[in-house]
Each structure stands twice: as structure tokens, then as C-alpha cells.
Amino acid sequence: MGLLVCNSRRMGDCQVATAGADPLRHNGGIHMNQESERSGLLVDQLEIENFRLYKHLLFERFGRANLIVGKNNTGKTSLLEALRILASMASPYVLWDIISSRDEIAQAFGRAVTRKADQYGLMNLYSRSSAQEASLIIRTRGRTLTVEFVWYREISEGEQGYRIERVLDPAEDDLVNLRAVLEVRDAESVIRRVFLNRRYVRGRSEPLGSECECVYVSSAGVSAPEIARLWDKVTLTPLEAEVTSSLAMIYPGLERISLAAGEDERTRIARAKLGNSDYPVPLKSLGEGVNRIFGIVLGLVSARNGLLLIDEVENGIHYSVQPQLWRFLIETSQRLGVQVFATTHSSDAIRAFTWANSKSGRTDGTLTRLEERNGRIEVHQFDGSDLNIASTEAIEVR
């Protein structure tokens, strides 16, 4: 039975593993075997079990840049969520951010404790077809991450604090005295526990040391606080020029970017200096495309040696700009060691992705189509050579 000793009188976000366990820790992010080290990819293969729509799904290969296509409700965004969980080692903040983005967080509060999985917002992470299993697995060649729903009992040990022990099969009338927990394991070691009766914010949990950098750009773009956080990482560095030059793709007159305090001094607004004006203008006033690309490029240069995840990459970006954007993403991701995953509904985005792979001289881009068939999600993948043939012969890959 797993035990955890804490100094607090209340259960918190305890990062220490079970007694006697030695959590796996890897320098530089997700552990890679020799094959993936040679390819320079963090995720060259992926297997997911019991997550959202995925009862079991295997992605046999990924490249430096990856485009995910498919109809609605085939799990494109779920794939990005799984990658976020893997990269963060199931960070409590990332888990809560994922379910809050889908308005699922309210389910976790204000209800009586029962054994039913749907009483907890975080339980929406599990496959609806097998919620009673309450254990999801995300696996790469070199790592297996398991997130399991469990019950724990708190046992007081006087002034020394308390210990908790796992209850394997609690009785229904005993649940009020137990704590619902998501227990995260890397291989066989418990590396963290996420308590379901509390919310988590960024920075609340101590890093484990085995996470990799991961930036997520939602379909609605990057929030203002996240823009400020990412900008502070690149400002006054050579990467700042990368961001500015990329924006000039769609607004050639743009010369500089800065973030200034907003009216309430708690927010910061992106402003642009244009060559034909002596005064800065709000970046958003130049159009949604500029602001969208700003967030994507900021994410790319901030995710050095990590992952950039973009949901509905084409949103707000004119089709004529998408080829240049994809070429920039492909070439810069190679130079910075970033692996890019993006989803789309757009045939324009597919054509732009195919063109950019060809023009950049890269052959390791992959297009993945997710398709629902007889209640199951199927995976169809196309590598660089397949994409070229599809583009030449006008084969439909959506």
C-alpha cells in the first residue's frame, strides 16, 4: 500500500513519490531512446489508451512538423491535449487548464461525493466508453505515463503530520472520509498526486525535472497573460528579431513590437511600430491574422527543444499567407529543435503544409488523418513522399 508523509495537517499537492520509490528523472525533458535521439524528435511514435475518444490509438510515426486533419469529433484537439499531458508529466495546472477550456471544470465542485466517474471534472479526461477503468496511458518509445483515478485515506500521526494510504475497494458509505486523487506514474514510480477537490494555477506545483518545454496555442489564440509571459522570454534576445521578421510576412511595414501596460496596469497590450508612423498602434488593430501569427511565432521560439501545439492553425490567417507561415514554422522548428503539431479543417492549410514541406527540402513532415468508423477512431498517416504524390495527383487526404 502506498504511503506518503507530509508535514501539513491538510492534504495538498504532494510531489513526493510513494515511500521507497525513486521517480524517474531525465535531464533535458522527455527521455528518448537511441533511435529518437538520432532523429532529434521528442515524440516520434505515440500510443494512447483510454483518453477521451481514444479507447486505444497508435500513431506509428511523427515528423518534425505534423498536421492533424479530420472531421469534427474525431479527436484532433484530444491528441494535442495528450501531448500537453505527456510533456508536462501530467502537471496539475495543465490538467485543470485542459478541462476548463472545455467548460468541464464546474463538474468537479458542489456535488456530493460518489463513486461515479462523471462527478469529477477531471474524469472527463478518460474514455467515455470505459470510464470505470479510470486509468489512461500515454506512451512513447522511451516513456510510459499513467494517470489513474484512486481513493486515499488520511491517517493522522499527531504533531508529526499525517500519512495517506490508498484504498483499493472502498465501501460506498466510507467515501465521505476519503479523498479522490489522480495518481500519476512514470513507469512504476508514483511521481505526483493531483487532488480532485481543488483548483490549480500555474506555478503552484514544483517541477519534477523531467518535463519538456511545451507551448499550446488554442483555436482562439494565445491569451494576453500568456503573450506577456512568452514575450518576456524572448525580448532583448536574438529571438525577438525572429518574431518581428515573421510578422512582416503579412504586414511588411511592421518594424518593432513591444508590450506596454494597459489601462488597469495589470494587463499588457502588444503594440507595433510601423515604418510610416511615428507612433505605435495596438497590434490587434492590424487585423486578426497579425495577432494570430504573433502568438504562434512567440510560441515557436519559446518552445526551444520542446513542443509547439497549435489548434486550428488556419484560424484568422488568409490562405495566401499560410504557405509562408508553414515554411517559417518548418525551417525554424528544425533550427530550434522544436517539434510542431497542428490541427486543421482547411484544405488550404493542407496545401500550404504540403507546399512548405516541399520547398523547405524537408521530407520528415507527416499528415495524420483521424477518421471515425463504427464507433472507433482510426489513424491514417502520410509521410513526406506521400504528401508530394497527393499534391501532384490531387488525392484527397482529408
Give the class (CATH, top level) of 216-364: alpha beta
Closest CA to 340 of 300, 298, 372, 283: 300
Retrieve residue 78's grid coordinates. Answer: 484530444
* Better-predicted residue by pLDDT, 389 or 139: 139
Closest CA to 181 of 158, 139, 159, 149: 149
pLDDT of residue 296: 95
Name the segment(s) of the chain with CATH classification 3.40.50.300: 216-364
Question: Is the CB of residue 66 less than 8 Å from the CB of residue 365?
Answer: yes
At residue 230, does pLDDT exceed 70? yes
Closest CA to 329 of 347, 349, 348, 70: 349
Least confident window among 3-17, 248-262, 353-367: 3-17
Supply the mean pLDDT for the chain: 80
Position 260 confidence tier, pLDDT thresholds 50, 70, 90:
confident
pLDDT of residue 344: 94
At residue 335, does pLDDT exceed 50? yes
SS3 at position 366 = strand
Identity at 41, one-letter amino acid code: L
SS (H, E, C) 155-201: EECHHHCEEEEEECCCCHHHHHHEEEEEEEEECCEEEEEEECCCCCC
Rounded distance, CA 44 to CA 214, Å?
Answer: 16
| pLDDT, tens digit (0-9, with 9 covering 90-100), for 35-70 | 443 357 899 999 999 999 899 999 999 999 999 999
Closest CA to 1 of 167, 154, 147, 181: 167
pLDDT of residue 31: 41
| pLDDT, tens digit (0-9, with 9 covering 90-100), for 347-362 | 899 999 999 988 877 6
pLDDT of residue 63: 93
pLDDT of residue 7: 32
Question: Is the CB of residue 45 less than 8 Å from the CB of residue 366?
Answer: no
Closest CA to 119 of 110, 128, 127, 302: 110
Position 104 confidence tier, pLDDT thresholds 50, 70, 90:
confident
Question: Is the CB of residue 181 less than 8 Å from the CB of residue 173?
Answer: no
Rounded distance, CA 17 to CA 139, Å?
Answer: 20
Cα 54-56-62 angle, rounded to 5 deg: 85
* Better-predicted residue by pLDDT, 397 or 281: 281
| pLDDT, tens digit (0-9, with 9 covering 90-100), for 109-158 | 444 444 444 445 777 888 765 545 688 999 998 889 999 988 888 887 77
| pLDDT, tens digit (0-9, with 9 covering 90-100), for 174-186 | 777 788 888 999 9
At residue 261, does pLDDT exceed 70? yes
SS3 at position 130 = helix
* Better-predicted residue by pLDDT, 79 or 3: 79
> Which of 96-110, 114-128, 192-206, 314-328 is most confident?
314-328
At residue 77, does pLDDT exceed 50? yes
At residue 197, does pLDDT exceed 80? no
At residue 345, does pLDDT exceed 50? yes
Rounded distance, CA 270 to CA 261, Å?
Answer: 9
Rg of the chain taking only CA atoms, in angstroms: 23
Rounded distance, CA 87 to CA 105, Å?
Answer: 22
Cα 132-134-136 angle, rounded to 5 deg: 135
How many CB atoms lie under 10 A from the CB of residue 335?
Answer: 9
At residue 166, does pLDDT exceed 60? yes
pLDDT of residue 8: 33
pLDDT of residue 151: 86
CA distances from 17 to 14, 21, 224, 245 (A): 8, 6, 35, 46
Closest CA to 328 of 353, 348, 305: 353
Rounded distance, CA 129 to CA 55, Å?
Answer: 7
Task: Give the DSSP letter of residue 141.
Answer: S
* Better-predicted residue by pLDDT, 124 or 376: 376
Report the Cα 16 to chain-centroid distance in Å: 24
Least confident window among 89-103, 153-167, 231-245: 153-167
